[in-house]
Amino acid sequence: MEGAVPVLVVDDNQGFLRAARAVLEEAFAVHTVENGTDALAFLGRRPPFADAPRPAFIVLDFRLPDMDAPAVLERLGADTELSTIPVLVMSQADWEEDAAAARAAGARQFRVKPSRVQALREVIVTFWEEHAHAGARPADRR
Amino acid sequence: MPDTAARATSPLPPETPANLASRARSATLIAAAGLATFFVFVWATSEIFLFDLGEVAWIFTSLILLNLLLAATAPRWAGWRAAIYVYEWVQVIILSVILHRLGGLMMGTLLITYAFPVIHGEMLRSDSWVFVTANLCAACYAVMAWVESTALSEVRVDIHQQVAFVTIAFLTLNFVALYANRYGSQLRNLARHLQAKVAERTVELSAVNAELAAKARALEEKQEELKSFVYTVTHDLKSPLSAILLIADLLLQREAAGLAAESREDLERIVRLAGGTEDMIRDLLELFRITSQPEAPAWVELGVLVEGALETLRPQIAAKGARVEVGALPRVWGQPRKLEHVVSNLLGNAVKYVAADHGEITVSGGVENGSARLSVRDNGIGIPPAYHRGIFELFGRVPGQEQKVDDQAVGGTGVGLAVVKRIVEAHEGSVAVESRPGAGSCFTVRLPASGEG
């Protein structure tokens, strides 16, 4: 979507990516990757993501095949520029330890993944409004 | 001697230097006190018995000072066996000199004074040498009798009587030694026996402690393993399920207009079924989390827990227009968060199963026969007796078609009461239900009124 706010969704579950894309495409330019290594390459604009945009925020699955969310967040935190991107960590379970680990590593929010489209939309849009809504605005929702 | 024999047969620990020193110190202090008392007695009665104080005063004084000096230096010499006997025997001889100067055998009670060095020797060192001390005392007595023989004859104590006195002295003092030795060795055996027992128990106790620590570690590892298992299962089961739900839901929303009624129903069925399974996984996870979380016990006011749960349930209670009555509730010793879960679960169920606008929920409690009781009674749909046992089992619930409130089927996963049962039983309590279809239900939880539940 031309001119729309870019968002990065990192999740190894293609079903979730499919739903997230459907929910977010109304308002954002959605980019998806399926593991932590690709997410870091995307954000660092390394091939094959050499001309990737800087996302306004990131939706990050807690459990990725190659690393977990705190590991990704720590790498982001080491980069002064990337560390300012708000990250919403989503997980299948609300384990307190996971939530604490994600927050400690720099996540703005930790949420259980909703299983309904409406709830998913609400969680992400609310996050956008609370944490990433500085200056940039998502394209008008249909 | 019995004492040495006992030492040889049982593996008793030897006395410590500190032990020996403390014994030597108390013995020399007692000797100094005894001598001082004797000296005061002699001084006080010198007019009556015509004692010549001038001759004995300096001997008394030096002997008392010697004992005090020895008491002060006890740790230096207490471990040296020969020193003790030299000390004891020198003292016997000096005592004899004092007694002789004071009038010797003329004092009928002299013999008793010799019992002291014997007992004293026993106090200092318990072994057969105490008999040597006793016989040295008797020998001194004999020497005194021999030296004073002429004077004794003058007061009509003839040579036969003198020999009899000396014989009695030998016999009496040896018996004193025997008694002292037996008594002392018994005491010391008992003390050593106790010491050995304590040492033995200490070893046993530390072995048991080590075993307990190992078990706790193993348990912790198992717990960790189980946790990672549940974690994995949760993610791997829930991930695809939630994706199915999202996509089905997406399809329903996007194609709402274009779908045939039958397809729409099928999609809705998928969402419903997958949603039920997802709820089950969520509750199962909750069950694991609640029951496995370690929590320190504390005093818990059941009234406070009920109040909190009602506060959380307020929207549901208001929506149903149910009346809730709460009586006085006891306090129990238990894990606060887990008990909170029990209370909110029972109240949540009560609210869920009463009919709109007619709901009456009564919470009551008390302490009966040493156990605290909490009852949650409702006038809801009730539970057929056939399910009274099953509802406390994991995933056990009354089938949907038999569970209609206001003509609506009530959903649930059959985990809630299973968690209640587990928590209550972990507190060494019990949970029971009384109910008939249409006549409401009463769930009663009993917990130990106090103790480390």
Class of domain B296-453 (CATH, top level):
alpha beta
Pick A93's closest partner by Cβ from B244, B254, B285.
B285
Q: In chain A, which residues have their Cβ closer than 8 Å to the Cβ of B274?
A: 115
User: Which has more pLDDT, B120 or A39?
Assistant: A39
User: Which has more pLDDT, B156 or A82?
Assistant: A82
Q: How far apart are CA B382 and CA B385, in angstroms?
A: 9
C-alpha of A49 from chain center? 16
Best of B242, B252, B270 to disrupt the A interface by mutation (most A CBs within 10 Å)? B242
DSSP string, A36-93: HHHHHHHHTT-TT-TTPPPPSEEEEESB-SS-BHHHHHHHHHTSTTGGGS-EEEEESS
**How much is the pLDDT for B9?**
43
Residue B209 main-chain phi, psi, to 5 deg? -60, -45
Show which residues on chain A lie within 8 Å of chain B, measured between beta carbons. Answer: 13-16, 18-19, 22, 63, 92-93, 95, 113, 115-118, 120
What is the average pLDDT across A103-131?
89
The verdict on B231 touching A (C-beta cutoff 8 Å) is: yes
The widest CA-to-CA distance across chain A, in whole angstroms, is 40
Domains in chain A: ranges and CATH = 5-132 (3.40.50.2300)
**CA–CA min distance A114, chain B (Å):** 8
* CB pair distance less than 8 Å for A93 and B235: yes
- C-beta of residue B211 within 8 angstroms of C-beta of residue B237: no
State which H helix or E strand residue B333 sits in. Answer: strand B331-334
- C-beta of residue A15 within 8 angstroms of C-beta of residue B243: yes
* CB pair distance less than 8 Å for A22 and B254: yes
Tokens 């008992």 identify what position? Answer: B190
* CB pair distance less than 8 Å for B243 and A22: no
Q: A61: which 2 tokens?
A: 């699955």
**CA–CA min distance A102, chain B (Å):** 16
Q: Is the pLDDT of residue A50 over 80?
A: yes
pLDDT in tens, B226-273: 877 877 777 778 888 888 888 888 888 887 778 888 888 888 888 888
Best of A92, A96, A123 to disrupt the B interface by mutation (most B CBs within 10 Å)? A92
What is the average pLDDT across A67-93?
90
Q: Could you tell me the residue ranges of all domains in chain B?
A: 2-204, 296-453
Neighbours of B23 (CB within 10 A): 18
Model confidence band, residue A69 (pLDDT cutoffs 50, 70, 90) = very high
Tokens 């005063």 identify what position? Answer: B57
Does the ipTM surpass 0.90?
no
Pick B246's closest partner by Cβ from A19, A63, A92.
A19
Q: Mean pLDDT per segment of 10 residues, for chain B of length 453 residues? A: 43 69 84 84 77 82 91 87 82 83 62 80 77 88 85 78 81 84 82 89 92 91 81 79 88 82 87 85 78 83 93 90 92 90 92 89 90 92 87 78 71 81 90 90 88 41
**How much is the pLDDT for B323?**
92
**CA–CA min distance A62, chain B (Å):** 10
pLDDT in tens, B25-69: 888 888 888 888 888 877 887 777 677 777 788 888 998 999 999
**How much is the pLDDT for B289?**
75
**Amino acid identity, position B104:** G
**How much is the pLDDT for B12?**
53
Query: Which B-chain residues 339-378 have CB contacts (< 8 A) with chain A?
Result: none
* CB pair distance less than 8 Å for A93 and B254: no
Q: In chain B, which residues have their Cβ closer than 8 Å to the Cβ of A63?
A: 235
**How much is the pLDDT for B110?**
66
DSSP B362: E
B377's CB contacts (< 8 A; 6+ apart) are B350, B361, B362, B363, B364, B440, B441, B442, B443
Tokens 């103790």 identify what position? Answer: B451
Q: What is the 3-state secondary structure (H, E, C) of B255-269?
A: CCCCCCHHHHHHHHH
The verdict on B270 touching A (C-beta cutoff 8 Å) is: no
Nearest to B371 by CA among B420, B339, B333: B333
**How much is the pLDDT for B350?**
92
pLDDT in tens, A110-120: 998 888 888 99
B32's CB contacts (< 8 A; 6+ apart) are B64, B67, B68, B71
